[in-house]
Structure 1
Amino acid sequence: MAQIWLIAVNPDVANLLELAAGRPVTAVTLGADIPGAARQIVIPVAEGTPAEAAAPAVAEAITAEPGDIILAANRSAERVLAGAVAAKLDAPVLSGVTAIGDGTARLARYGGIVEETVSFESAVVAVADGGTTPVGDVPASETGPATVHAAVVTSTSRSDGESVNLAAAKRIVAVGRGFKSEEDLRLAEDFAKAIGAEIACSRPLSEGTEWLPRDRYIGITGQHVAPEVYVAIGISGQMQHTAGMAGSGTVISINSDDKAPMFSQSDYGIVGDLYEVLPALTEALA
């Protein structure tokens, strides 16, 4: 049976463990405990050293054989480490992985619109959404190689706004071009607070107006989410957006255009002016 490896910079890897489908996982981490893993190899990294500098050590620790699968979260640091492992093993990198088997993997293509099944005999590196922190027992730690590049973080520059892990959100309120100004987003924020939801957006509000940061943008080239409840406000519902929320549970749309494509993707729809509908809903929930 193929062995499953996992590259982890932080413990938000529940989705990757689910992909392992109960098979034992050996986690190679940079100090993060991984509940649910069968084995844990910790790469020693000095304070102030960026995670990417540990690429040689991670590649050395993963002694994968043909047919083995190396899982990595679709985050910047893990992608760098996964690339180093793939280069060492001369292994292909599979993105958008939704399921794995012995010698096979199912991949989401074009933002999840279609799926493709591929076969392999060599070791492969599979990149997928990390998800939330798993539950379970933490295995005893083994110390891994210490072959780390001599790199140090000398300064950091933080952008305004709070970072959010939309993949872990149970409820999401997504806003679109139906809002006339950035100040008007307060209506959606008040509603989201009333139902305990995170705020997200369609691409134009992130890469066009820049009203919200890119980590809140949902779509083919943005975040892919699957909350229990997804509320789309002022979003037309083009494929570029709906591909990013296709796995959602209950979908609710609010739009003044009764022919908006978003309604065809929804369980419930409200045709009306969001400037009237949102305050009424928020007041009713108070």
Structure 2
Amino acid sequence: MNTIWILVDGDRQIGAARKALGDLADSAAVLAVGPRDLAETAARTGAETRWADPGDLPVEALASSAAELVAQEGPRIVVAAPTSGGRALLGAIAARLGAGTVDGVLAVRPLSDGGAEIERSGLSGRVVATLRSAAPLCLFVDPSDAPAPAAGRPGSLDTADLAGNGIVRVSVEDAAGAGTGVADASRIVSVGRGLRQRDDLALVRDLASALDAEVGCSMPVADDLGWLPKEDYIGRSGQHVSPRLYMAVGISGAPQHLEGIRDARTVVAVNSDPDAPIFSRADYGIVGDLYEILPRLGEQLATR
């Protein structure tokens, strides 16, 4: 069966999937995992939609039963956004179908042999690679720049009864004294691989405290090193921020990071490389060693 499934746990993901799939989206079916209004939004685009309500369970708890449901339809392409829930669902489906997975998908075109030609972003957005693969395929599309889903002819909306796999959410609460996070912060001090070791985060936190700012980071600091939580990572597939002040410390300025700060009002960059791409976006730039500059900035702020 040639049905294409779109898995969503955020409405922008519907627009992202339709944009990447192009004409193929017209025959797509949607499995919406999350609030009912997600499924209703999908159905308004004309898609045949099935809705699963996780209730008090995390989306990840429905991965196994979602994989069984999707496998029964025998799809050749399944797409999802690279959120934690999307990765869990699509990973389970890929394992069940024996399908290959591709990240950073920009566009999909069907081939006459039943496979697909895929355009994907590589090297942090610096290149676009074209791949050809046989079906089935599980593809991750980035919803950050996706258009809002457009309404079309009404589609069907049915309920999918997906069982949890024993994962239970006990409680979710803010840590005592925790800040509001980078997403809505008016000031952010963000750190990259220019920092030599985890303990040196104290320098960044001291400066952020003096500025009454939140601490953010580039993708490698969260994903590769694990020095900061992934929710503090700023970039194309991380947080998109719009602070009044954004200070990039030891961040080279890869395209995916610049995408995440495009709405920042004032950008200050501190980097030892005068040719670092971050300076192309900075309103103010300081070329030098962050280990010398940050303490001096802190001293100046303390006198004010």
The TM-score bracket by the shorter chain reads: 0.5 to 0.7
Distance 1:209 1:48, change over 3 A: closer
- Preserved contact between residue 250 and residue 267 of structure 1 (Cα < 8 Å): no
What is the Cα-based RMSD across aligned positions, in Å? Answer: 4.4
List structure 1 runs of 4+ shifted beyond 6 angstroms.
Answer: 162-165, 225-231
- Classify the secondary structure of the residue corresponding to 1:59: helix
- Preserved contact between residue 8 and residue 73 of structure 1 (Cα < 8 Å): yes
Question: How far, CA to CA, are the matches of 2:63 and 2:272 in structure 1?
Answer: 52
Aligned to 1:283: none
Richer in helix (by share): 2
Tell me the alpha carbon deviations over residues 89-134 of structure 1, each in whole angstroms, 9 at most, x when there is no partner: 2211111222222211112233333332111231211013333793
- Preserved contact between residue 225 and residue 244 of structure 1 (Cα < 8 Å): no
- Preserved contact between residue 174 and residue 202 of structure 1 (Cα < 8 Å): no
Tell me the alpha carbon deviations over residues 48-73 of structure 1, each in whole angstroms, 9 at most, x when there is no partner: 334233234322443244xx321111
Aligned to 1:128: 141
Report how many aligned residue pairs link the two structures: 261
**Ranges in structure 2 where 5+ consecutive residues have no aligned partner:** 111-115, 196-200, 287-292
Offset at 1:31?
A: 3.9
Question: How far, CA to CA, are the matches of 2:202 and 2:182 in structure 1?
Answer: 24
Aligned to 1:108: 121
Aligned to 1:194: none
Distance 1:250 1:90, change over 3 A: same
1:270 to 284, 296, 300: 284
Q: AA paired with 2:56?
A: G
Distance 1:172 1:20, change over 3 A: farther
Tell me the alpha carbon deviations over residues 1-39 of structure 1, each in whole angstroms, 9 at most, x when there is no partner: x65321123434143332233632321012432435432
1:213 aligns with 2:229: yes
* Matched ranges for 1:237-276 at <5 A: 237-238=251-252, 242-247=254-259, 249=262, 253-255=267-269, 259-262=273-276, 266-272=280-286, 275=297
- Preserved contact between residue 258 and residue 271 of structure 1 (Cα < 8 Å): no
1:26 aligns with 2:29: yes
1:94 aligns with 2:121: no
1:182 aligns with 2:205: yes
Tell me the alpha carbon deviations over residues 168-222 of structure 1, each in whole angstroms, 9 at most, x when there is no partner: x8x99552369934142146556xxxxxxx9732368768795x53322246xx9
- Preserved contact between residue 216 and residue 232 of structure 2 (Cα < 8 Å): yes
Aligned to 2:289: none
- Preserved contact between residue 235 and residue 255 of structure 1 (Cα < 8 Å): yes
- Preserved contact between residue 31 and residue 49 of structure 2 (Cα < 8 Å): yes
- Preserved contact between residue 49 and residue 153 of structure 1 (Cα < 8 Å): yes
Offset at 1:232?
A: 5.3
- Preserved contact between residue 65 and residue 162 of structure 2 (Cα < 8 Å): yes
Question: How far, CA to CA, are the matches of 2:54 and 2:282 in structure 1?
Answer: 52
- Classify the secondary structure of the residue corresponding to 1:74: coil
Distance 1:205 1:141, change over 3 A: same
Distance 1:172 1:108, change over 3 A: farther
Question: How far, CA to CA, are the matches of 1:104 and 1:95 in structure 2?
Answer: 14
- Preserved contact between residue 236 and residue 261 of structure 1 (Cα < 8 Å): no
Question: How far, CA to CA, are the matches of 2:162 and 2:280 in structure 1?
Answer: 51
- Classify the secondary structure of the residue corresponding to 2:102: strand
- Classify the secondary structure of the residue corresponding to 1:130: coil
Aligned to 2:6: 6
Q: AA paired with 2:8?
A: A
- Under a length normalisation based on structure 2, what TM-score does the superposition of the two structures give? 0.64
Q: AA paired with 1:201?
A: C
Distance 1:122 1:76, change over 3 A: same
Offset at 1:236?
A: 3.5
